[in-house]
Structure 1
């Protein structure tokens, strides 16, 4: 797991052909706006979250974010624990995001 600034996270994600953007916030938070192309898996629903991440392709690179960076950090550690080697946490989360947001 690596904590990346928005600049690092964006640059690395754009240049990674195996990139998957993962939003680990709740449904309500996701509906308020999300980074384009993001898949949503609510980390608060822990049993479902673990089940879903075990189904993910471990060879992909996961660029993970939440509201402020805490839950996404946990999510990256959980991804690592199920065999995903490349998990990148967006420091500051969507609260500090300056890029495009879909509603």
Structure 2
């Protein structure tokens, strides 16, 4: 019975990622805690000053990675819309010039953070997660 409990516990921890995340390897999670979930990596939001400095440079591309509906409701001037949720988003990114600097924003910084990671995985070296549209707008970014 003890062997079964140990194996069941080990399988549960392995299935929830506890081994890989440095959690205790014996016993089970504390009562009332949810199993761990895998979270896609993101890039932190850059400061408003960093975003403004980048956008002041010639040749920088501003990308709004929200949906076309969100973009149509309002966007920063000169922003191009590349929908992060589109089925062909990765293909669209692959068609961009990896030597340029890109500043990405969305509604909260979540999609732009995930998109920044994807850009980096595709070999883009100069990508900035500018965060939330509203925050940029309120900060004077046009």
Report if TM-score (shorter chain) is over 0.5: yes
Residue-by-residue CA offset, 1:7-41 (whole Å, 9 max, x unaligned): 220122212x2300000000110011111101101
- Taking structure 1 as the reference length, the TM-score comes to 0.86
Within-5 A mapping of 1:1-103: 3-15=45-57, 17-45=58-86, 47-91=87-131, 93-97=132-136, 98=138, 99=140
Structure 1: where are the runs of 5+ without partners? none
The Cα RMSD (Å) is 1.6
Q: Greater share of strand residues, 1 or 2?
A: 1
Count of residues in Structure 1 that have an aligned counterpart in Structure 2: 98
Moved over 4 A (4+): none
- Taking structure 2 as the reference length, the TM-score comes to 0.64
Structure 2: where are the runs of 5+ without partners? 1-42
Higher gyration radius (CA)? 2
Higher RCO (CA 8 Å, separation ≥ 6 residues): 1
